[in-house]
Amino acid sequence: MMDWTDRHCRYLHRLLSRHALLYTEMVTSPALVRGGALHLLDFSPQEHPVALQLGGSDPQELAQAARLGAQAGYDEINLNVGCPSDRVQSGTFGAVLMKDPALVADCVAAMRAAVDVEVTVKCRIGVDDQIPEQVLPDFLNRVSAAGCERFSIHARKAWLQGLSPKENRDIPPLDYDLVLRMRKEFPALHLSVNGGITSLAQAKAFLDAGLDGVMIGRAAYHQPADILCAADAEIFGDGPVTDPIVVARQMLPYIEAHLIAGGKLAQVTRHMLGLFAGRPGARQWRRVLSEGAHLPGAGPDLVEQALSHIGPLADPARAV
C-alpha cells in the first residue's frame, strides 16, 4: 500500500478499530540504512499494534533496517515478498523474491537475529510461470525453517512481465483453496489470506474455515467504515461498532496539531475521502474536502463543513 497507508491513514484507521493490526506502507531497507530516511519510521503511539513493512533483499541491510524499526517501537517487522511493481523488481525485492526462497530465508534469519519483535513475511502464491501448488509449500517450508512463523499470503500469482501493478491486483485468478490447503499442510504456522477481500462477512468466512487471519488492503482504504467500524465487535468480540461521524470529529485535534507543525490539511483528509462511502451525502463530503483541502488557510472547519452534508445511517442502532 505504498503512498496509501502512511501515518495519517493509520491514525484514522486506529480510531475506527482498536484491535486491527495496522501495517505501514512498504519502506525499503536502502532508504533507511543508506539513505538515512528515518522520518519514514515516524508514527503515533496511538497506532499500536502496528507493523513495519520492509522491502529489500540484502540480509545484513534488512537486519539493520529491522533493528531501526524495533528501536522506533514497531510491534512487528514484516518482509514484503509480494509487491510486483517495476521499481521494486529493479531493486531485487518484492514479489521477484518468490524465485529465491533461500535468499528470503537468509533475510528472515538475519532479521530475527537482529530484533526481539516478531519477523513476518507477506508473499504471493508464485510468480510468472511458477506452479503455485509446488512453489508455495516449498517457500513456506524454507522460510519457516529460518524462524518465520507468520505469513500473509496474497492468493494470486504475480506476473512480473507483461502486467502492470494494477493489473496484478485483478487479472491473475485468486486461488483461495490453495491457501486453505496450506493451513492444513502447515498447522504450526500462523497463516493469513490476502487479496480480493471486500467485506467483514468474507473475512469471517475465512476465519471460520480455519485461517488465522485476514489481511484487507484496498477495501479497508476505500471503504474504511465498512471494514473497520464493526471489526472490533464482529471479529475480535470486544468493543462497539464505531460511528464514522464521531471518528471524523476525533480527527480534528490531530489535524490541528499537524497544521501547527507545518503540515497541510490535504495530507490528512485525502485518507478520509472514503469514510462515508455508500452513505447519503458521501459525494458532497468528498467534493468539499477534495476542492477545499489544498486551499491556503484550510483547516478543521472544512471537515465540519463537509460533515454537514452527511445523512443518517440506514440503521442508526449499529453505531454507538
| Residues belonging to the active site | 83
Q: Looking at the chain, list the stretches that DSSP marks H as alpha helix, in order from N- to C-terminal side.
A: 7-16, 29-33, 59-72, 86-90, 101-114, 132-145, 176-185, 200-208, 218-222, 224-228, 231-234, 244-260, 265-269, 282-292, 300-307
Q: Exposed, middle or buried: residue 162 (CB in 10 Å: 0-12, 13-18, 19+)?
A: exposed
Three-state DSSP class for residue 112: helix
C-alpha torsion sign, points 4, 253, 242, 24? positive
C-beta separation of 143 from 115 below 8 A: no
Q: Exposed, middle or buried: residue 296 (CB in 10 Å: 0-12, 13-18, 19+)?
A: exposed
Q: Could you tell me the three cell numbers for 7?
A: 501515518
